[in-house]
Amino acid sequence: MTGILKVLVDILSVPALLVAIVAFVGYLASEDKNFSDAISGGVKAAIGFFILVAGAVTLIGPLDILGPMIQEAFNVQGVVPSNEAIVAIALGQLAQATALIMILGFVFNIIFARFTPFKYIWLTGHHSLYMASLLAVAFSVIGMSGVVLWLVGGVVLGFLQVILPAWTQPLAAKVSGTEDWTIGHFSSLSYVAAGFAARVAGGDPDTTSAEDMEFPQAFGFLRESLVSTGLIMFLIFLVPAIFLGSDRNALGGETTWWVFLFIQSLTFSAGVAVVLYGVRTILGEIVPAFSGFADKIVPDAKPALDIPVVFPFGANSVIIGFLSSFVAGVVMLFIMGPIGLAAIVPGLVPHFFVGGGAGVIGNAFGGRRGAIIGGFVNGLIISLGAALLIPALGNLGFENTTYGDADFQWVGILIGLLGRLFGAG
């Protein structure tokens, strides 16, 4: 990989830097902003993303402890979906193709946004990298290579980065009450399915919202979303701990096991708070910056942002969606083996972030029942999708991990089917 190519990949794969550049250019293009405003806005937007990432890392720490606890307590083995793990493996084989597809995808994203009705600029850089790796693997499995692989992959990535945000725009508008931004996260299938199912089978979102749940006076502390999140996570930790028997005594090292788990639960809740603050900081800069960006570069452009952008609109719904998605993942774990599919062990990271987002969307369309339905639908989709994707990944399909989000899955499956249809691969 050449020096210039590496620099471009380094910038485009870090959402904070990508958002900072867009905010900087947007402010420069605005008639009522000067260079100082552009510097300030770009740096603040980047800091907001780093805050969000810090919160996400804080969240993932407790989840990484909980996942192995569940596997050991209930003796479950199988493929564990993890975008980070499968991308690392894919980059070991197709690093150059992945890098070029990602860069070309960003270029085609701007071209499509400029000359088509789909005026969306994708700002979730790490998901661009993940999708680029999926496209590199899936297209190479069906026989593509070299310039053809790079160009086809770049065009497909750029197209996905405008068409999928258009698909989720009504969901973002329903959740937030504004059309200034949309969702840029490759789990669009889950979110659209969650919204549809919640609308059909949910309740009245105006009268049964999960965010308006009333608690008895003695449990008034549960109205505080961070408090209820920490306590709910503690209960979730306790369940596998009970089944671990005496082995649970080793969980915290020299710290008493239940104290250790309580600390992890509160750490998780703190991570949620940090993520929410980061999202507010990003939106405070990127939305006004986009008015200048849209006027001068891509008229009427809207930013497509990572899924935590919806979390502030449904703190209770995030937890409901996460739990419901995880339950669906457990159900699918025990169903898929008997029907001849790979056993997919629920990966807590996709179930939390995607399930939580599906819960917020489900609540917006169907209230509390919609939040439950939305999360459950996501759990079904990403479990089945992960199992069906494995054959399309060629040699990577023999690894003990795979892509965890719905759009990676259906895109990979579709490419594999097209390859077989036309006799490729």
Tens of pLDDT along the chain (425 residues) come to: 567 777 777 776 676 787 788 788 888 887 778 889 899 988 998 898 788 778 878 878 888 888 788 778 877 777 878 787 788 778 777 878 887 898 889 889 989 999 999 999 998 878 888 899 899 999 999 999 989 999 999 999 999 999 999 999 999 999 999 999 999 999 999 999 999 999 999 999 999 999 987 756 665 555 566 787 788 889 888 988 998 988 888 888 889 999 999 999 999 889 888 887 887 787 788 777 766 666 677 888 899 999 999 999 998 899 899 999 999 998 998 898 788 888 888 887 889 999 999 999 999 999 999 999 999 999 999 999 999 998 888 776 656 678 999 999 999 999 999 988 876 65
Strands 302-305 and 120-122 turn out to be parallel
Adjacent-strand bridge partners of 183: 305
**312-328 burial, b if ≥16 CB within 10 A, otherwise e?**
bbbbbbbbbbbbbbbbb
Domain range for 20: 3-421
User: Structural domain tally of the chain?
Assistant: 1
Which distant-in-sequence residues (6+ apart) come within 8 Å of 254 by Cβ?
Answer: none
Helices (H), 177-314: 188-201, 225-243, 257-296
Nearest one of 314, 378, 313 to 350, comparing CA atoms: 378
Contact 237, 260 (CB under 8 A): no
List Cα–Cα distances, 259 to 8, 230, 411, 417, in angstroms.
45, 13, 44, 50
Is pTM beyond 0.85? Reply is no
**What ranges make up the beta strands (E) of 245-387?**
302-305
